[in-house]
Structure 1
Amino acid sequence: MKKIMCMLTALLMALALLCGTEAVPAARAEEEYTLPREEGTRQLTFYWQDEEADYSTCDMWIWYPNADGHGYLFHPCAYGVKVVLNVPEDVSEVGFIVRRRCSDPGGVSWDEATKDYDGDRYAEITGDTTEVYLLPGDENQYKSNDGGVTLYQEKKMTMAGIVELNQIQYYLNPAVRLESMDQVTVTEQETGRKLEVTGLSSLNNSVIAGKITVGEELDLTRSYTVQIEGYDAITAVPTNVFDSAAFAEKFNYDGDDLGAIPGENGTVFKVWAPTASRVVLNLFEAGDGGEAYDRVEMTRGEKGVWSAEAACGAGTYYTYSVTTVVGEQEAVDPYAKAVGVNGDRGMVIDLDTTDPEGFGEDAFIDSINAYNEAVIWEVHVRDFSNKLASSAYPGKYLAFTEHGLKNASGEPAGVDYLTDLGITHVHLQPVYDYATVDESSDEPQFNWGYDPKNYNVPEGSYSTDPFHGEVRIKEFKQMVQALHQSGLGVVMDVVYNHTYDGNSCLNRIVPYYYYRFDNRGGWSNGSGCGNETASERPMFRKYMVDSVRYWAEEYHVDGFRFDLMALHDVQTMQEIEAAVHAVNPRAIIYGEGWTGGTTPLMENRRANQANIKKVTASEGAIGAVAVFNDAIRDGLKGSVFNAKDRGYISGIVSKNTAGQVVFGLTGGVKNTMVSWSVPGNGVINYMACHDNHTLYDRLLTSCSVDSEEDRLKMNRFGTSIIMIGKGIPFFLAGEEMLRSKGGDSNSYKSSDEVNNIRWDDLTAGSANMAMRDFYRGLIAMRKANPFLTGGEIACEVLEDNAIEVRWTEDEKLVAYALVNPKADREVTLPEGEWQALLYNETIDPEGTQTLSGTVTAAERTVLLVRAK
């Protein structure tokens, strides 16, 4: 019987191959997993098979709108394995990744999981039930009428994109051979007129993509239908035509008057919409609710800029209704400076009226003359004060204006705590208007805010009144002003690499312009958030530059941190550097030198760790663009992708981890253990940030068998290394007081109880207080000893992987340190007398104790001395 079954399977495979399809042998399961389809949902089933896979360590990572990605367990079936899920009936597309070698199948952790196919894929839901068959390592999706024995691909044109003003590129699935241009038709939808097809790049070749050339210039405000014999017709949309020289010459706009500009006789509205056939200005009396009280037809002008003048002024709310090839869509003005509640309508604003008293005299901080003189404290606005009982403005911008705040034990809290701690800059997690918190609700809500909606407007949930657009602006300015008065700089976390929704206001106004797409016309997802923006396109580059300049000029922001900066191109970051430093030469600019996924942006154009050295500092600027240093982060405490991994401070003392530490100590000077380098001390040295575990939680997870005191010693050791390094010290708010999130490694939308800073943990005699004091002492030491930031530094890794550090000025040795990761050891100091700055965890910024000869360095400590 077994022999007969094998013969039948072989016959089926042979027949399938003769028919141009693939066959998959499988034994029929006695009973397969099923899932009842719930009311209001449609069902999607994924089938996958790989005879060499260990299915117990595989799963599918799945996401779709309003559903965060997580793992789904496979169930055995006749084909191999399958995943069945119900999705809301309004969801038309589901993203998926087949994962191998999962440490937590069906969970949310990736750790060291790998992708079966290196890329994100999307399954289209076509009916009440949809089945998708997958093969190992194959990007294609298949259908089957016989349970997977025979696979086929539906004939479908997936994309028709206008790539030049006379060319359309098409994408087909599966490949087809076209033998005549007569098999292709391009029709202007408005008139029904057929355009002459004068060229076909794929003629007589079996391909999945080709270019159609037509005998006239295409009008981007009109719609064109592309029909290829055997495939359904689809509408051509503008894509790579946006990168053409012809488009640039016709439509690139360099004016500074986009948005709503109020004047004595009304307000002038301007929006760049070169592909629109009609734009209507909608005027409202309120920021939400009610119909437009007026609709004004806008006039198309040069470079695709539409304008209208209306007899209205500050306090008027507005939107644009834009008609393009995808239909009419209502959108907020991307250049809006104020919005109504939840950012669904722009608002005309007289910005001068939003300045708090004395704001005209407010100035950027001038306490640093080089990037690495900054000490940066990263905080979320809600985290800062939401659990601070003495604050009158918990979770709001205005909490940063309060002085005299105390915790339950009477210890300083809020801004007074920060000035006492000694940091120089407060790094605010996103404070532009973001999408995922309902500003109209008083219910407790939390989100980090990495989901941009309106880039040039403060987030409303942090204001005392989100319904009136001017309030959030004034209160944001009050926050900045108060921090400046306390001697603290303000760094703004900006996320230009993606938007919350692909069909953002940008895409509604100029579809397909502001984003990158893959070679099949699908959304590129280098951000890991469903879309990625195209900084290399001149009008989005201009938008980014205009935006950061605006925040610096109007709000007096002292610096910017760029999320997933490698998704931006080097030229854009250079223009941003120039624009920001033209406003404030002491502004600090830094970002993540990596992507969140695969991107079509060429490697040599990305503003990543390897390329950031191409961005140079403007004349008079104190730096160019710095990058986060994941080498020292992972070297000190272990890989961020494996929570159990250890590093230099927690027991893995090796040549590799020592080299990663040296890289940070030297400020990014290339060594054999790190593949990239930066000039000018342009690395952000850190152990923890908002992403992943807090430092306390990470050490608890990876070193659970160690004692609490040992873990605290690891913490102090790592912080000592960060604070003597030539890079820029950075730490997560509350790290210095042993902040824990209960092991939550991705708390972006977790509760206040998980996220908010627990100020009351600071009590006399507590470990929290002791760690705070240790950080405070290190910051004071760094500030009091300029050789740490300005001296020439050299490191030597010793045989046991301890590290000797020497600082010189004018070729004279001015300071010496031993970074000692292991047991207590005898250290012979260089000849002469030395002042001890950091000695067996005792910090003395002034170096009042004199040392010479041989001294003892305790394990997991830094011994730091300077010349007497």
Structure 2
Amino acid sequence: VHYHRADGQYDNWGLWVWGKDVEHPSSDWPKGALEFNQSGPFGRYLDLPITELGKDIHFLLVNKATSKQTKDMSFSDRANHEQVYLHDEEDTVYTTPFKALSERITRAEVTAPHQVLANFTAVDQLDLAKVQQDLTVTTNTGQAVKVTKIDVDAANKRLILTTQEDVSRTPLKLTYHDETVNSQTGWKLTDSLYNYQGELGSTLQADGSALMRLWAPSADAVTAVLYDKDNPDQVVARVPLTKDASTGLWTVTLDSQNTPAKNLDGYFYHYQVERGGQSVLVLDPYAKSLAKWDQATAKEKVAKAAIVDPNKIGPKLSYANIPGFKKREDAVIYEAHVRDFTSDPKLEGQLKSPFGTFSAFAERLGYLKQLGVTHIQLLPVMSYYFANESARAQRELQPSTQNNNYNWGYDPQSYFSLSGMYASDPSKPQARIEEFKQLIKAIHDQGMGVIMDVVYNHTAKTHIFEDIEPGYYHFMNADGSPRESFGGGRLGTTHKMARRVLVDSIKYWTDTFKVDGFRFDMMGDHDAEAIAQAYRAASALNPKVFMLGEGWRTFVGDEGEPVQAADQDWMRSTDGVAVFSDEIRNELKSGYPSEGQPRFLTGGPRNVYQIFNNIIANPSNFIADAPGDVIQYIAAHDNLTLHDIIAQSIKKDPKTHAAEIHQRIRLGNLMILTSQGTPFIHSGQEMGRTKQLLDPAYKHKVDDDKAPYKTHLLVDEQGKPFDYPYFVHDSYDSSDSINRFDWSKVAGDGQYPHNQATLAYTRGLIALRKSTDAFRKGTAKEIADQVTMMTSPDIADSDNVIAYQAVDSNGDRYVVVVNADNKVRKLRFNPERFPGLDKAEALVDGARAGTQVLTDLVGVAYDAESVTLQPLTATILRIKAKPDQAPQPEPEQENQAPDRIDPLSVARAGFGGFGGDVAQAPAGQLPATGESQAPLSLWAAVMAGLGSLMVGLGLKKEREAQ
């Protein structure tokens, strides 16, 4: 939001903001108005964080000293504008720096050797003859440029100037009346003029010198500003770079001749870029490490780069050797945040390393190894902008949802440097490299792979790239302004050097750190060719590299330049990159835009054919030509956790209904882990993670305008708020008390039986999935031939039960039957179509899951023609191709962690949740956990003898009517 005052007196004037799409609405009138804290050519401006698609944005100008204010203003045209302009004390919102109908020149862009596009606030009333007379075009040295022809592009409010001279490599000044603008070179022309394919960034050489390279073809001068390695605030040298006019590359070698350093290792630097009489410090986009960063107190707009040699830091690495991982469908991905995984204060004294670091994460890998996942996907670990790395070691134990020194990392400022937030000492640029490599080695040593979550779709701030080469690195609007997202620029990956940033970054992490995969944030924002090139580059280094991304249809690109996006529609054309399936998520537990509504797992009957198609990696909202194109998931870092969305949907407080919530979690995990494609698990999903706000100030509902940031208010079926009714849905700015992985819930000491039973159940499901290829088919044809929906007269088209079978390559059949209904369901099957049920072995029942054959079944009975399931119960039955072979029990895993609990004993204690008969925990215990710590309730009387049910229970057989 830009603000211009003719009198230049900005003191005390601020912006009061409100609206549901404003992330931080103002409070404490009028002192709480936002300060216009940055300066620009228009006057002052501020950055206003709003939701990605939000349009409900309201504001007014107010003098904080006198309370003088304007009328209310609002803005909703987010599709076309990310910047607005306010004048003096007017109540009009402008989308250009100039008032309406004022015919002023706003920018100029050289798009061809003899063509310049000149944008105006309006062109409809321009007299071209008068423009020809009044418009002057000169080089930056003052030489006149003759304009031979002027055409009007009314749709884009610009004039097309034809020049007599070749102006492709000459910075221009255009003056019309009292306005002068400096020209930019259009990205297409830049691509055609400057072709550079060599190395970029700083390279530390064997003799201690450093070769510095920056691509900035339109810069007038570039200087390396060198800072002391022990005092990053102290400038020790300023060394000019030399330009290669044919490539746009600026270079210099720093050594003891032009700096006081004999060895440049560990020194910090900026580049000072001069252009059109202005100078700005920029971050080397290829910097391999950074100085300690604190965005709030930094004197510069970007971090300082560090001169290091990553190849000589840390252990020697190789790519992961993951047992059983031969194709994408063999993977089980586990998404985790580095800090969350060890920020639980209960680990104090158990960790050798500082909590929240790469090193601490490595100490807890045994849990994930035992869980059985194949790949650990780390939320972004590249340097992000909004952080105070100096305070990374401070715990944040008070429940809070904003203004914390915590970040998910989706605000990048460097694509080649790690964040110092996860280093034991952020002041040492080598430490973060060393410790991340050690973590990767530790993960590989455990037989698992590393997937990096990467955010190339936007930066934290547009100036990060725009200051280096204006009008080039981002996707562009027709008026020549960069396209923005989340306050930063959208990286223009159709532009050669911007695409190189993405591809070179992927190559760097793959080659230097031996990373095993990448998850692309908002991948649909990129063009498909850029992602395809990244995949080809990475797979040439690591043929087993795994790439996945958010394939939502969000591509904007350059205005008027449509290309194929890397979205869900692209899946019919690629078998190298996968996308998340939002349809299975939405059908099973609800999601955007229906979050909280009843779905299959939460009491809402759904079309079982559509659900089955999703299970076989064939969603209706995009075409996947291979199952590996589909990431099957029901929870991720954003939105409510699986536990919390279930509680919201069924309107039951986990304080008294924990058992039912966990039963539904187990059903969801079972369906994901028996689906074709690649299953994806959010950290804590395996044990029922919650992000309930356990703040005494919010133990009860508060007024809507005082509700905590980024929370949902959860209520029961009567509309009564839960005890501690606020649950955090996007915890990217929440404290450790909300985000921590709660290790006590997987400790196996019986304190949290529901969590521990869900963990054991999920762990068994992963082992079962990995033990057979029935759920891991590699082609659509295999699925069509070997995976079948099991029809029954007892299953309606829209229902909360489903049955399907998948055939292993050895001929064994796996029958999966799920009852997400609130009542007992008996499902009859035609024994001619689905033979052998009476000879089946049960591997999963209402309490247990795994590879061992179960007896004394819980909640499950079956015979040759039917399967009967108790409420919220599933089973997996194996019908062996060679029934004469006795089943071989699985050997016990070695080195079992002390987090085991007998799930059968939990189930025998009772089902819980339905009759409201869960025993109450002492009230004083509840705030510490957010759920009941009591034993599970007893089975209802009709279920009392369930433990003795066996195959052939004697239930009356009824023949299928079909």
Normalising by the smaller structure, the TM-score range is 0.7 to 0.9
Contact in 1 for aligned 2:202/2:210 (Cα 8 Å): no
Residue pair 1:94, 1:124 contacting (<8 A) in 2 also: no
Report the alpha carbon displacement of residue 276 of structure 1 after superposing the two structures with TM: 1.4
- Out of 197, 200, 206, the residue aligned to residue 147 of structure 2 is 197
Q: Does 1:351 align with 2:338?
A: no
Q: Which moved more, 1:116-125 or 1:186-195?
A: 116-125
Q: Say whether residues 1:248 and 2:201 are aligned partners.
A: no
Superposed CA deviations along residues 446-466 of structure 1, whole A, max 9, x for unmatched, are: 111111112111111211111
Aligned-partner Cα distance in 2 for 1:860–1:276: 65
Residue 557 of structure 1 corresponds to which residue in structure 2? 515
Match of 1:821 in 2: 820
Q: Deviations over 1:224-283 (max 9, x none)?
A: 2242x6x73322223xx2124xx3343121113543242336221112111112111222
The match for 2:342 is 385
1:518 corresponds, among 451, 457, 477, to 477
Picking from 23, 29, 42, the partner of 2:13 is 42
Take 2:534 and 2:622, find their aligned partners in 1: how far apart are those partners? Answer: 26
- 1:674 alignment partner, SS class: coil
**1:488 to 1:633, Cα distance in 2 relative to 1, 3 A:** same
Distance in 2 separating the partners of 1:96 and 1:40: 22
User: Cα offset for 1:489?
Assistant: 1.1
Cα deviation digits, residues 584-604 of structure 1 (max 9, x gap) = 111211000126685547665
Aligned pairs for 1:564-575 (under 5 A) are 564-575=522-533
Using the TM superposition, name which of 630-639 and 760-769 deviates more: 760-769
Give yes or no for contact 1:92–1:126 (8 Å, CA) kept in 2.
no
Relative to structure 1, the CA distance from residue 190 to residue 400 in structure 2 (aligned partners, 3 Å threshold; closer, same or farther) is: same
- Residue 795 of structure 1 corresponds to which residue in structure 2? 789
Distance 1:729 1:679 in 2: 14
Structure 1 distance, partners of 2:566, 2:790, is: 31
* Counterpart residue identity of residue 818, structure 2: V
Question: Does the C-alpha gap of structure 1 residues 607 and 597 become closer, same or farther in structure 2, counting only changes over 3 Å?
Answer: closer
Summarize deviations over 1:25-45 as a string: whole Å, max 9, x none: xxxxxxxxxxxxx98443458
Identify which of 240, 263, 266 aligns with 1:315.
Answer: 266
1:725 pairs with 2:726 = no
**1:759 alignment counterpart:** 743
**Aligned mates of 1:97, 1:500 — CA distance in 2:** 13
- The answer to whether the 8 A contact 1:523-1:530 is kept is no
1:259 aligns to 2:202 (yes or no): yes
Q: How does 1:197-216 map to 2 (within 5 A)?
A: 197-202=147-152, 208-216=157-165
In structure 2, the CA distance between the partners of 1:41 and 1:380, relative to structure 1 (3 Å rule), is farther
Aligned counterpart in structure 2 of residue 703 of structure 1, from 646, 650, 668: 650
Partner of 2:70: none
Match of 1:606 in 2: 565
Listed as ranges, the matches of 1:383-422 within 5 Å are 383-387=340-344, 388-389=347-348, 390-392=350-352, 393-402=354-363, 414-422=364-372
- Residue 831 (structure 1) aligns with: 835
Tell me how far apart the structure 1 counterparts of residues 27 and 317 of structure 2 sit (CA, whole Å): 56
**Distance in 2, Cα, partners of 1:272 & 1:206:** 33
> What is the percent sequence identity of the aligned residues?
26
Q: For residue 45 of structure 2, what is the aligned residue in structure 1?
A: 92
- What is the aligned partner in structure 1 of residue 496 from structure 2? 538
Cα drift, residue 558 of structure 1: 1.0
Match of 2:112 in 1: 164
Q: How big is each residue's C-alpha offset from its partner over 1:474-531, in whole Å with a ceiling of 9 and x where there is no partner?
A: 0111111111111221111100111111100x32221221112222334323x33442
**Separation of aligned partners in 2, 1:386 and 1:95:** 30
Q: Is the 8 A contact 1:42 1:127 kept in 2?
A: no
Q: Residues 232 and 292 from structure 1, CA distance in 2 versus in 1: closer, same or farther, beyond 3 angstroms?
A: same
Counterpart residue number, 1:27: none
Distance of 1:243 and 1:207 partners within structure 2: 18
Task: Tell me the distance in 1 between the aligned counterparts of 2:819 and 2:603.
Answer: 12
What letter is aligned with 2:433?
I
Q: CA deviation at 1:859?
A: 3.5
Deviations 1:270-303 (A, max 9, x none): 1211111211122222275444222222111241
Compared CA separation, residues 384 and 71, structure 1 to 2 (3 A): same
Q: Is the 8 A contact 2:373 2:766 kept in 1?
A: yes
Shift of 1:423: 1.1
Q: Which amino acid aligns with 2:631?
A: I
Distance in 1, Cα, partners of 2:540 & 2:155: 54
From 284, 291, 294, the counterpart of 2:237: 294
Structure 1 residues 177 and 155 mapped into 2: Cα distance closer, same or farther (>3 Å)? Answer: closer
- CA spacing shift, 1:464–1:132, aligned 2, 3 Å: same
| Residues 856 and 124 (structure 1), Cα distance of their counterparts in 2 relative to 1, 3 Å cut | closer
Question: Is the contact between residue 139 and residue 145 of structure 2 (CA under 8 Å) also seen in structure 1?
Answer: no
Are residue 590 (structure 1) and residue 548 (structure 2) matched?
Answer: yes
Shift of 1:186: 4.0
- CA distance in structure 1 between the partners assigned to 2:583 and 2:593 by the alignment: 13
Aligned-pair CA distance for 1:216: 1.9
Asked whether the 8 Å contact 2:482–2:489 carries over to 1, the reply is: yes
After the TM superposition, which residues 173-192 of structure 1 pair with which residues of structure 2 at under 5 Å, given as runs?
173-184=121-132, 185-188=135-138, 190-192=140-142
Quick one: which amino acid aligns to residue 532 of structure 1? R
Gaps of 5+ in 2: 1-8, 39-43, 60-73, 256-262, 294-301, 396-404, 693-726, 856-861, 881-962
| 1:593 alignment partner, SS class | coil
* Pair 1:339 & 2:290 matched: yes
Task: Tell me how far apart the structure 1 counterparts of residues 409 and 327 of structure 2 sit (CA, whole Å).
Answer: 29
Change (3 A) 1:69 1:572: farther
User: 2:634 maps to which residue?
Assistant: 687
> Could you list the per-position Cα deviations for residues 115-159 of structure 1 after superposition, in whole angstroms to 9, with x for gaps in the alignment?
95462535545555342259xxxx89997xxxxxxxx55444343
Q: For 1:829-862, what per-residue CA distance to the aligned partner results, in whole angstroms no more than 9, with x for missing partners?
A: 6212322232345324244569644331334333
1:861 aligned onto 2:861: no
RMSD: 3.5
Written as runs of structure 1 = structure 2, the 5 A alignment for 1:19-58 is 40-43=11-14
Are residues 1:306 and 2:303 paired? Answer: no
The change in CA–CA distance for 1:740 and 1:374 in structure 2 (over 3 A counts) is: same
Per the alignment, do residues 173 and 794 of structure 1 end up closer, same or farther by CA in structure 2, a change over 3 Å counting?
farther
The farther-off stretch of 278-287 and 837-846 is 837-846
Residues 116, 718 of structure 1: CA spacing in aligned structure 2 closer, same or farther, 3 A cutoff?
A: same
CA distance in 2 between partners of 1:115 and 1:129 (Å): 17
TM-aligned CA deviation for residue 103 of structure 1 = 11
Distance in 2 of aligned mates of 1:103 and 1:307: 48
Q: Distance in 1 between matches of 2:78 and 2:233?
A: 48
Q: Distance in 2 between matches of 1:119 and 1:287?
A: 47
**1:842 corresponding residue in structure 2:** 848
Question: What are the superposed Cα offsets for residues 91-112 of structure 1, whole Å, 9 maximum, x if unpaired?
Answer: 5256699999999999xxxxxx
Structure 1 residue 759: deviation in Å?
1.0
Alignment partner of 1:263: what SS? coil
Match of 1:807 in 2: 806
Which of 435, 453, 471 in structure 2 is aligned with 1:475? Answer: 435
**8 Å contact from structure 1 (residues 41, 86) kept in 2:** no
Cα contact 1:398–1:479 (8 A) shared by 2: yes
Match of 1:632 among 584, 593, 602: 584
Inter-CA distance 626–116: structure 2 relative to 1 (3 Å threshold): same
Say which SS state the counterpart of residue 179 (structure 2) adopts: coil
State the Cα distance separating 1:189 from its structure 2 match. Answer: 5.3
